[in-house]
A and B are shown apart, each in its own frame.
Chain A
């Protein structure tokens, strides 16, 4: 297979990426205490926290890199690894647990070889386990790309995931 690189396009992507990161970080200038919000914005943009961006945040906002990393790794909402095209979040809150939520995680492990926090090799799915989505009446709950699926059993999970390529 011949690989050709469209350099102007790559350059444009890199530039727009840099611009976006810079303007996001700059919008928090002087608000060091809003580090968590900034990291949330960055993650919403790139679906993970790229390492070079964390370094940039540290430099631009004058926050020790150790603190940026400690926050980025302390909170469950953040991930330092790129995530797949579709994020499958399985709720493991108590209500979902007693109704069999754990089996959905096991099914993902069996069918796709991923544990919570991991991504399939083809970047199709990232599996997340969450402690409660606050949708307890409809458990077990699975959220795929922000869309809530209620009363999910292994069979239904199969059907739902087929729609995400």
Chain B
């Protein structure tokens, strides 16, 4: 016990100078020329088998007794999830993709020992076939500006010394030793930082109203209840670089005069919870959280709260109700949370990414920061580029980049030679943007003008096989399940929209339905209590605006042009193309397909449940869907 206490005291950093000394001593102990194998340990790479790759590296390094020469690091998400598991060999940044445990022996033998590159594990450009050796040269990374996300690949998120070595907590020490709260807030205001969670409210203004609210107790909250389906950048940031989020929170707490903080994180994100918990413990041990931070006399503690899986809890007042142990119902917002929030105290709530931007602004200055981006939206934004796109993953780009650059230059376009149809941004509150607006610069205001929104940064790309009525129905069904039911416009309005959209996709739509949908949308946006309801109609309205023809085809011709809406399509077998391979016959769950080997098969419409299994397995384009 005494030994433990002594050890604890040793770790504690008591002043800004001591933090500098610690950083220098960590760096001094590190040999920058030493080879480091960094394996991506983000959730996506883990799902692709990264943990087995790490184990294989441990075994192989031990077997060859290379522990001294080689360092192995399991880092947070590198972003290029499509190609995982990813392995980067530092310091040269040799980039290996889709690595399996079987490749590990060769990587060690060839690259580490013999200094040669393993060609077959390199990224090959899908168009030219050209191989790329180094991580920064991969087209996916080349056009990005990874100010926030870049450190993920270099840091072991469970080791605070990695973060400190990379300059971590220097913004905190700068603030605690030389900046007054008002100066910090001025700096954040000047930077032009806007909330990264969805609304895009100016962060500095929020901080200021919290500072000016008079109260004995104030709270600082990190919103990691990333509910937008299709967005996972908050998760990856909290998993991969939790200290950057914590550092931002401590700075915010100092600026408004708060001693108590919460991280409200989704229950579905176990790894993020684990890493945030470790980060808090380590920061406490090092005196960067807790009492008398860096000897400044300022105290601040952070607790993690796991959410209960309700989308509405991403809304500030619902989130705070949930933190109080109540059901997550929003309140009317005539009083701002920054004045009367959690337990009626002034509460400063910011998104994970917003917090992670703060240390950067303090370190590099508002002038530097505000040079990045557009007139109304400063800095970079992390997007999750997913759906029907070649290079799925997380990308960080300066505000103002065009949708086309993101989807085609970084994302590598649409797979399987399909045509781009739309990109959905902003989650269930956002909308679908069609091809003619691909050259729009992406920022808060431009996306809103198109009837969509920035939201949390989800960007779901849809190809020609996507039915836009089905997409609208998908979001309305989502919101129907997530509406808390407190206010009538949202509870009833969304239900009516759901009924109408279901009817349209089943071929029971009426011409007047479209007008009714528009009426309902108006009622929702004017009458709903919180943003969930107010914006619920956006996916419907944007698809109606840009893809009205598709709705009309569903209603008048009872057809789904994309071949998605089950009641409106039919499968059949083209006897000219069918070679009688029996694959579809075997895959059919209802026995609707009959036929002999090498004879064209036939499909019995009466038995067909339109599950599409035959369509998926046919290699001869003999199954027709229309």
Interface on A for B, CB 8 Å cutoff? 32-37, 39-40, 67, 70-71, 74-78, 92-95, 97-99, 103, 106-107, 110-111, 130-139, 141, 146, 148-150, 153-155
Contacts and interface: CB of A to CB of B under 8 A. Distances in A.
Interface string B386-421: 111000110000000000000000000000000000
Contacts of B612: 103
Contact of B48 (A131, A150, A155): A150
A134 B268 contact: yes
A101 B323 CA distance: 32
- Residue among B227, B232, B392 facing the most chain A CB atoms (10 A cut-off): B232
A132 B589 contact: no
Nearest to A93: B229
A137 B85 CA distance: 12
B621 to A, nearest CB: 18
B268 A71 contact: no
B154 interface: no
A149 B305 contact: no
6 smallest beta-carbon distances between A and B, as pairs: A75-B308, A137-B81, A93-B229, A134-B232, A148-B47, A76-B309
Contact of A74 (B229, B236, B327, B613): B327
- Residue among B269, B387, B392 facing the most chain A CB atoms (10 A cut-off): B387
A135 B232 contact: yes
A133 B42 CA distance: 13
B324 interface: yes
Contact of A133 (B81, B268, B484): B268
- Residue among A75, A99, A130 facing the most chain B CB atoms (10 A cut-off): A75
Contacts of B267: 40, 77
Interface of B: 43-44, 46-48, 81-82, 84, 226-232, 235-236, 266-270, 305-311, 322-328, 384, 386-388, 392-393, 424, 427, 458, 460, 462, 466, 471, 474-475, 478, 481-482, 484, 587, 589, 609, 611-613, 616-617
12 contacts: A34-B305, A71-B327, A93-B229, A132-B227, A132-B229, A132-B231, A134-B235, A134-B236, A136-B392, A136-B458, A148-B46, A150-B44
A126 to B, nearest CB: 15
Given A76-B308, A132-B228, A132-B230, A99 B387 contact: yes
B325 A33 contact: yes
B481 to A, nearest CB: 8
B51 to A, nearest CB: 11
Contact of A139 (B270, B386, B393): B386
Contact of B309 (A77, A95, A110): A77
A101 to B, nearest CB: 10
Contacts of B458: 94, 136
B230 A94 contact: yes
A146 B589 CA distance: 28
B501 to A, nearest CB: 14
A23 to B, nearest CB: 20
A74 B232 contact: no
Contact of B327 (A70, A130, A139, A149): A70
Contacts of A148: 43, 46-47
B47 A141 contact: yes
B84 to A, nearest CB: 8
B47 A94 contact: no
